[in-house]
Structure 1
Amino acid sequence: MSQSMVSDRASQRAFFGVSALLFAASAAVTIVWCASMSAMGEMPMPGGWTMSMAWMRMCGQTWTGAAASFIGMWVAMMVAMMLPSFTPMLWRYRQAVGRTGETVETGLDRLTALVGAGYFFVWALLGVAAFALGVTLAALEMQLPALARAVPIASAVVVLIAGALQFTAWKAHHLACCRATPGRGCMLQALPADARTAWRHGLRLGLHCSTCCAGLTAILLAMGVMDLRVMVAVTAAITVERLAPVGERVARVIGAVVVVVGLVLIVRAMRTG
């Protein structure tokens, strides 16, 4: 076995080993965060549902501090949820940079980290938007009982729409880009080995990925951003549709399941409303 092959295998083992450690650490932080939020309890609301304390300030906490805490936890949660499907995309990037023929071994890890930073920067920005939206809606729901009573059916409708999105060409296009499927104009070609390209590539992946996951992320926000069961289900759906050999077909199957769940939730909300 040549020295080059040994080095490549060692690099591959190190890459996937670090990825596994990052996943374990982010998953542990997410579990601890969810447990701490659950220990604080939830606020009962008109309509028979409860509001998560994630949208509230703690005693003595400023809104800036609350936002920073939420975004930090949001990023940790996104790392845990997205890393299983993002790791193969990072590995394809390393291979694409290697195809340039440049000597980049010493800087390849740094470039890979920049791609990851750009990717999760997009998710962090979405966390800012999610916090602003969540806090605004929470304030309105506490002031307007009629709006609060409409939340269960509104959440169910969000789930139903998210399931329907799984069948669209828009979803198929962005899923193909995340999967780097040939023939869709998104296949990853050889890339220059420089920091600017790495950062921009990470941003591009983050935009495609967040757009592709818009419906599934909406389910997470609608059903309970602190609910570990919903997190696990959404993570599994995202991972399977990205990594399965027939991803588009899997996405449609997931969509059918989500539509059924949405309809069941609508019926339940109407009966209890």
Structure 2
Amino acid sequence: MRTVQRQGTNDHPLRGGVLLPVRDLVVAWSLIVVIAALAWVLTVGQARDMGVGPGTMGMALPLFLLLWLAMMAAMMLPSVAPVAVTWAKGIARRSSGAVRALRTTEFICGYLIAWTAFGLLAYGGLALTGSLVERDADVGKWIGAAAFALAGLYQLGPLKDICLRHCRSPMAQLMRYASYRPRLRDLRVGLHHGAYCVGCCWALMVLLVPLGVMNIAAMAGVAALIFLEKLWYRGPLLARVAGVAFLVLAVLAPFQDWLLPGLRTPMAPM
């Protein structure tokens, strides 16, 4: 059987001595791809029934968090797959294939828990903006401008750069966690990496306020931007270019209603 081998005698699970069968790499990637694909199917199906509109569109918190979890799995897992597979490589030597798959799933669960926690804040923000737009539809254009401006400024700020650097090169943190006690370690690693990912991408999710939280085209665009930021070698430059573009959209938003489908009332079908 072909294997991926790293030389060395150190027993550190993320250093030398790791033998990972190619089959196990395929399993790890396939697991993530399948979860993301199923999440996209669920999200698209629900979005077709709901359309695009302001606020929470009448969703109670439990239903919103369920859909938010599916959205985050669809949008974020493709970009986090390399990190999850890297962690799978690190635990490969000491685990069977089934245990490895279970531990990779635990990592993904920790990652999605971080984004679900952010979903609580997202629900509150959407409820507030929906209430404001319901009272005065003209407020929507200023909310949209503020959302684009916030996303643009954050893209150009230092905290974005710090979190993006971690998401692009997480090995130092993974090695630190590899020395922790095994109990719930994979969940904690996923949660920790997910927190950095929230720090990197939360402002991009704010764009869904003016664009529509169930706007599939907007979700796909944001997911593509996140994927390129994290995995393309010019990702940091792309993040800054996107920041400038968002600031331009912030200036245009009060005068261009087509930029604000998620802040229009009544709800319009996609």
TM-score range, shorter chain: 0.7 to 0.9
**Structure 1 residue ranges without an equivalent (≥5):** 43-49, 58-65
Which residues of 2 match residues 107-146 of structure 1 at below 5 A? Answer: 107-142=99-134, 144-145=135-136
- CA 1:2–1:161 in 2, change beyond 3 Å: closer, same or farther? closer
- In structure 2, C-alpha distance between the alignment counterparts of 1:255 and 1:154, rounded to whole Å: 18
**Structure 2 residue ranges without an equivalent (≥5):** 6-18, 258-270
Count of aligned pairs between the two proteins:
242
Question: Which deviates the most, 152-161 or 128-137?
Answer: 128-137
In the alignment, is residue 25 of structure 1 matched against residue 38 of structure 2?
yes
CA contact (8 A) 1:115 1:202 kept: yes
- In structure 2, C-alpha distance between the alignment counterparts of 1:110 and 1:96, rounded to whole Å: 14
CA contact (8 A) 1:111 1:195 kept: no
CA contact (8 A) 2:24 2:97 kept: no
In the alignment, is residue 256 of structure 1 matched against residue 256 of structure 2?
no
- CA shift, 1:169, in A, is 1.6
**Residue of structure 2 equivalent to 1:77:** 71
- CA 1:102–1:181 in 2, change beyond 3 Å: closer, same or farther? closer
The one-letter amino acid paired with 1:70 is F
Picking from 199, 224, 243, the partner of 2:231 is 243
Secondary structure (helix, strand or coil) at the match of 1:51 reads coil
Deviations 1:49-68 (A, max 9, x none): x536x4315xxxxxxxx221
TM-score by length of 2: 0.80
CA contact (8 A) 1:156 1:266 kept: yes
Secondary structure (helix, strand or coil) at the match of 1:242 reads helix
CA contact (8 A) 2:147 2:209 kept: no
**Residue of structure 1 equivalent to 2:90:** 96
In the alignment, is residue 176 of structure 1 matched against residue 165 of structure 2?
yes
Picking from 36, 49, 54, the partner of 1:51 is 54
- In structure 2, C-alpha distance between the alignment counterparts of 1:253 and 1:173, rounded to whole Å: 17
- In structure 1, C-alpha distance between the alignment counterparts of 2:139 and 2:99, rounded to whole Å: 53
- CA shift, 1:82, in A, is 0.3
CA contact (8 A) 2:129 2:143 kept: no
- In structure 2, C-alpha distance between the alignment counterparts of 1:236 and 1:2, rounded to whole Å: 33
- CA shift, 1:157, in A, is 2.2
- CA shift, 1:181, in A, is 5.9
CA contact (8 A) 1:115 1:199 kept: yes
Question: Which deviates the most, 103-112 or 245-254?
Answer: 103-112
Secondary structure (helix, strand or coil) at the match of 1:210 reads helix
Picking from 172, 182, 188, the partner of 2:174 is 188
**Residue of structure 2 equivalent to 1:167:** 156
The one-letter amino acid paired with 1:87 is A
**Residue of structure 2 equivalent to 1:46:** none
- CA shift, 1:126, in A, is 1.6
In the alignment, is residue 265 of structure 1 matched against residue 253 of structure 2?
yes
Deviations 1:61-112 (A, max 9, x none): xxxxx221111111101100001101111011112334xx645655222221
- CA shift, 1:120, in A, is 0.3
Deviations 1:168-212 (A, max 9, x none): 221110001111267xxx553261582421111111111100110
Question: Which deviates the most, 116-125 or 153-162?
Answer: 153-162
The one-letter amino acid paired with 2:155 is Q
- CA shift, 1:132, in A, is 2.8
- CA shift, 1:256, in A, is 2.2
- CA 1:51–1:181 in 2, change beyond 3 Å: closer, same or farther? closer
Secondary structure (helix, strand or coil) at the match of 1:14 reads helix
- CA shift, 1:138, in A, is 2.4
Q: Give the % identical residues.
A: 24
Deviations 1:6-36 (A, max 9, x none): 9610001111122221121111111001001
Question: Which deviates the most, 70-79 or 101-110?
Answer: 101-110
- CA 1:2–1:202 in 2, change beyond 3 Å: closer, same or farther? closer
